[in-house]
Each structure stands twice: as C-alpha cells, then as structure tokens.
Amino acid sequence: MCSDEKEYNLSRRFENHARMFERKASILLDVMYEQNEKHAMDTMDQEVTVFGVKTNPLSFAYENLMYDVLAHPCSQRRMDVIWHKKTKREENEAGCCPSRCTVCDLSPKTYYCINYVMFFVALVLYSGFVLTSVSDPSYKRVIARGMEYSVYIWGFGDFIAEYLPLFVLLKLIPQLKFRRFFFKLKLQLNDFWNAIDLLSYIFLAIALIVRHAGSSENLTYSRRIFAVSLLIMYLRFLQAFMMIRTFGATLIMIKEMLKDLITFIWLAIFVIFGVGIYYHANLWPDHVYIFGDGSLGSWRIWKIISLPYWQLYGEPNEEYISGKDQSDCTNITSIWSSDPSQERCPREDWTVVLIAAFYMLFSNLLLVNLVIAMFSYTFGRVKSNSEKLWMFERYVVIKDFEYRKPSLINIICFLSYIISCLFQKCKNRVNNNQGKKETSENKKEEKKDLKKFQKIMATRVVYAQAEHVLRTAETDSM
C-alpha cells in the first residue's frame, strides 16, 4: 500500500472518529438537557483547561465544525442568554475591577444594532466623499474634510474592534504555546466576512497613502482605490442581515456559491488565456508593443483576454474575429509601430473563425453549464442544512459581539477602562482580599455541584448506551 493511500485511510479513520465523537457528544447533551436544563446550559459555556488551553464546549464545537452540537436546543438557548442579556465579563486578572460606564457594558444584541447603525452612517459619509470631494477644489470645503476624516476615524476604530482582541493574545503566547495563537489567526482569516473586512481596511489604507503622500496627479488613482474600498464596505454591510433567519440562510448560500465560482474561474482562466493568445497571434501577428506605452491600462494583455472573456456570455465579436472591422485602426506598419496608442487593424484568418466556433461551443455548453450544475448542487446541499449552518454562523456573530464594541465607542471605553484601572487598582487590592475568600468559596461549591451533575449524566449516558446495545443484541438473536 502506497504512502498516499495510507495517509488517505488514516485521514478517513480520524474523520470517522471525529464524527463518532460528535454523535456521542450530542447524546450526552440530550441526556443532560433532559435532566437539568440550567446545569446543561451552564456546562456548555463553562471554561476548562485542556492541554494548557482554556476553552469551553461551545468554542470547541465551533472550532471543530460540530454543527449538530451548536444547533442543539441547549446550545441555542445558552446563546440566547448571551445575546439578550448583559455579558458577564471576567474580572481583570491583575485585580483591576473598574466601574465602567453603562455604554461600555451593554448586551451583544445592543452592540450589534449600534454597530450597524454607525456602519450605515459611515457608508453614507464615505459615499458622499467619494462622489464629490476627492479632487482638490472640493477638498478645501470644511464639510468635505469632515466626511473624509470621519471615515478615517471610523475605519481605525472598526479595525481595532475587529483585530485588537486577536493581537491581545500575543501577551498570552507562553500559555497558548504559539500554536493556539496561529490557530486563532487562521480561523479569523479563513472566515469569509473577516476576509472582506481585511480587504476593505487594506484598500482604505492604500487610498489614504496615495491621496496624501503622493502628488496631485495621483488623485485619479486614489479615487479608484477609494471606490473599490467603498464597494467592499457595501458588501460587508450585508452581514447585518445574518441574524435574520431567512436572510442569513440566503447569505450562506451566496457565500458557498462564491467558492464554486472561484473554482470555475480557475478552470476557465487557462482556457481564456490560451484562446486569447491564439486570437491575438493570428489577428495581430508580430505585435511588438505588448506593454503599450508603459502604463497599466495600455498593456496588450487586456486585448488578449477581452475577446474570449466576453464570448463566455454569448458575445461573438464576429467583426473582430473575422478581421472585417477596419474602423478606427490602421494597417500602415510605420504608424502603429511608432505610436503604441494607435490601434492596429486585425487580419483575416479562417483558422481564427474555426477556433472561435469550437471555443464558444465548449464554453457556452460545457463550462457555463458546469458552473450552473455546481450552483444547483450547492444550493440543494445548503438548503437541506440551512438551519444548522445558520445557527453556526449565528454563534460566530454572538461571540464576536460578546466582547466587541462598535467603532468609536470602543475607543472611549478603552480609555475609560485604563483611567479607572489606574484609580482603582490600589483600592481593589485592599477590598479584594476580603471579598476573594467568600467569592472563591461560592465558586468552588458551584463547581462541585456542576461536576457532580456532569458525572451523574456521564454515568447515565453509559448505562443508556449499554441498554441500547443489549436490546439490539436480543432483537438480533430472536
């Protein structure tokens, strides 16, 4: 047996073992939830240390894609408690327990609503800035500067809200053993919405640098980059509908279909380049200036891919392909060779027409129908599991806004937290010595009760499984 086959079999065994573990976890959760709903819900959010890593069953189920566990009524009810009620923040490990203002200690649902209201306002300001105020004459107006710098401040605060919790883990790396940190980073970047967020930040930062660090000639480039960043931000705003069950399932379908579309693009891009080069080599033979006059927009690569690309959508471009379109071009070699901006007339070549006929047959009947079939399969797969997938994405949003504050508010709360820490650190050292004893004793009693409950439930699950096996054996023997 070859090594690849061994690795494949080992991978399948691990996958089957993981699925078996998920089924047993679901059975255990069923029994726990039937016996005591409150203890079962508390267990799902109870942090434990496993191999030096702090985690809880909900986080473990999310990180290992255990959809059935997250979709269980016990998990969903626990998430409802987190979503609607005030979050129970852990006390600062350094002994700093500041009295925070009300706006810094709201429920995740309230933070979620505030976040997207402010996001919408930022979109309006950003749109107004891109449409009217990128050029120098408009930039002199106070309202234009206000719109622009409001977007910068909001973007900075939003970036902090999105990625600061991840970077804070750097100080915990000795406990997390590096692997945990990079796993969290990979999990963050692999999420579709986080990738969209990161793209919008990157384009906004590039546009800011090009606009203020370059000359006035770069205003056109900065406007284009600002517009791309704004377009991505509009796509980001779609996440606001994720918590609505109907819209959330639709967004999941779109996200999964985008994966199929990317796969299709990778298949189609080589065909497009191959056909495009054949077209160009025979319609415009021995074309010297492949890079035009040096600017990106004048590169000949765009002409090479444009004809086969639009043919994917049924546009034959017959006049170009047959070489009959002689308008706005020249056949005089000395003219087009000395002036790269001058368009050269295509030549007639019957092989190009033949290749175009076969290409359109292949692309329109095979490639396009292939991606339609992929979309249909993905739609059916997601539709049958839409509830579980939506509950999985819902957990991501709830856990995100359990600790995340909206842009601008997070900056204010962070500053107030630091100031409160400085003033109350000494006071807490005195008061905590007395209160810690009572609190620790109460927590120990609660943990003991919860552990007893968990042991009883585990024993009952084992007995239930044994009875199920015996009944199955008796039935088979009869």
Q: Can you tell me whether residue 50 is helix, strand or coil?
A: strand
Is the pLDDT confidence value at 91 over 60? no
Is the pLDDT confidence value at 432 over 80? no
pLDDT at 59 (0 to 100): 82
pLDDT above 70 as % of the chain:
68
* pLDDT, mean of residues 140-162: 82
Is the pLDDT confidence value at 145 over 50? yes
Q: How far apart are CA 230 and CA 132, in angstroms?
A: 14
- 72-81 pLDDT, tens digit per residue, is 888 888 888 8
- 102-119 pLDDT, tens digit per residue, is 566 788 888 889 889 999
Q: How far is CA 1 from the centre of its chain?
A: 40
Q: How far is CA 429 from the centre of its chain?
A: 42
pLDDT at 120 (0 to 100): 93
pLDDT at 430 (0 to 100): 45
pLDDT at 408 (0 to 100): 78
Decide which of 409 and 422 is more confident.
409
Is the pLDDT confidence value at 325 over 70? no
Domain range summary for the chain, segments of one domain joined by +: 3-99+424-477, 104-254, 259-387
pTM of the model: 0.73
Is the pLDDT confidence value at 389 over 50? yes
Model confidence band, residue 172 (pLDDT cutoffs 50, 70, 90): very low
Query: Average pLDDT over the chain, rounded to whole?
Result: 75
pLDDT at 182 (0 to 100): 61
Decide which of 452 and 265 is more confident.
265
pLDDT at 234 (0 to 100): 93
Decide which of 452 and 205 is more confident.
205
pLDDT at 217 (0 to 100): 62
Produce one character per residue of 20-44: b if its CB has 16 or more CB atoms within 10 Å, e if not.
eebeebeebbbbbbeeeeebbbebb
Give the DSSP letter string of 290-320.
TTTTSSGGG-THHHHHHHHHHHTTT---HHH
Model confidence band, residue 123 (pLDDT cutoffs 50, 70, 90): very high
- 207-237 pLDDT, tens digit per residue, is 888 887 766 666 778 888 899 999 999 998 9
Decide which of 452 and 117 is more confident.
117
Q: Mention every residue, 6+ apart, whose C-beta is less than 8 A from residue 120.
A: 237
Q: Can you tell me whether residue 344 is helix, strand or coil?
A: strand
* pLDDT, mean of residues 169-176: 46
Q: How far apart are CA 385 and CA 382, in angstroms?
A: 5
pLDDT at 449 (0 to 100): 62
